[in-house]
Amino acid sequence: MKEKIADLEEKARRLRVAIVKTLHKSQSGHTGGSLSAIDMVCALYFHKMRHNPQEPTWDGRDRFVLSKGHAAPALYVTLAECGYFPSEDLMMLRRLGSHLQGHPDSKGTPGVDVCTGSLGQGLSMANGMALGLKLDGKDNRVYAVLGDGELQEGQVWEAAMAAAHYKSDNLCAFIDSNGLQIDGDVSKVMNVSSISDKFKAFGWNVIEIDGHDMGQIIAALDAAEAHKGAPTAIVAKTVKGKGVHLFENKASYHGVTPNDEELPEALKCLGCFD
């Protein structure tokens, strides 16, 4: 297990490098939230989820919904690393004609099942998938990643209510709780605390973890799968911009990309000396 965790940590480091390079190239996109979510996305795609990059629409796959769609770079670099599409495509992020849209678009990108990015909608979609899979008697699981600022959207709680009502225990949602949103601290813009208490009150199984601790992420995913009768929320304390001190815990890096001056330092932080 120790080896597995070390492997995943190394994978996540490489994915962070890819995020920084991709966003430096595109000069448009969301750096902070991509770096805060990447460890969870990495654990899902390289450890937990059943999926087949050679057959993106494989019937037996588990499903993933990036509800905080602005972290698209985290998803894109992961899909590219898995082999869903060539890594060179990443250099076309957000360009006219690219399948890599600013926010995930199921029409063009292999491995993306739904369109997200307008916040608050992904959990509803994920629960719809969970209901449909259960209806078919399948044991496939559905994973979602939401932001903590995103929890301010009322639809999230409509979905939370419905998922508990229908006992969607094949649904597991990460809350990427980096504490920051565009206008500043989540607690100051519109306090959503306590996230865990809210999900518990809605009838969810709740697990609190450090969202950058690979061991905790994996353990939480296993515990979520083992829990029957209710969906699981993994409330993950994270650091916006994690891994690059220039970006860490800065709301100003929500929608800002690394510039030419920052790039070498950012890559150095990530142990990349190419």
154 binds another protein (CB under 8 A): yes
Q: How far apart are CA 181 and CA 34, in angstroms?
A: 13
- 126 part of the interface to another protein, by CB under 8 A: yes
β-strand pairing of 142-147 with 63-66? parallel
- The stretches of the chain forming alpha helices (DSSP H) are 2-26, 31-43, 72-82, 122-135, 154-165, 186-190, 195-201, 214-226, 262-269
Query: How far, CA to CA in Å, does 226 sit from each of 8, 38, 55, 221, 231?
Result: 22, 24, 28, 9, 11
How far, CA to CA in Å, does 32 sit from each of 163, 251, 252?
Answer: 29, 8, 9
In the list 36, 124, 178, 238, the residue contacting another protein (rule: CB under 8 A) is: 124
Mark 44-83 with x for binding to another protein (rule: CB under 8 A) and - for no binding.
-------------------x-x------------------
Q: Which is nearer to another protein, 127 or 177 (CB)?
A: 127
- Compute the least distance from the CB of residue 80 to another protein, in Å: 21
For another protein, the binding residue among 15, 114, 151, 217 (CB under 8 A) is 114
Q: Is 113 in the site for another protein (CB under 8 A)?
A: yes
CB of 274 to another protein, least distance (A): 36
Chain residues binding another protein by CB under 8 A are: 63, 65, 105-107, 113-115, 117-118, 120-133, 135-136, 154-155, 158-159, 161-162, 165-166
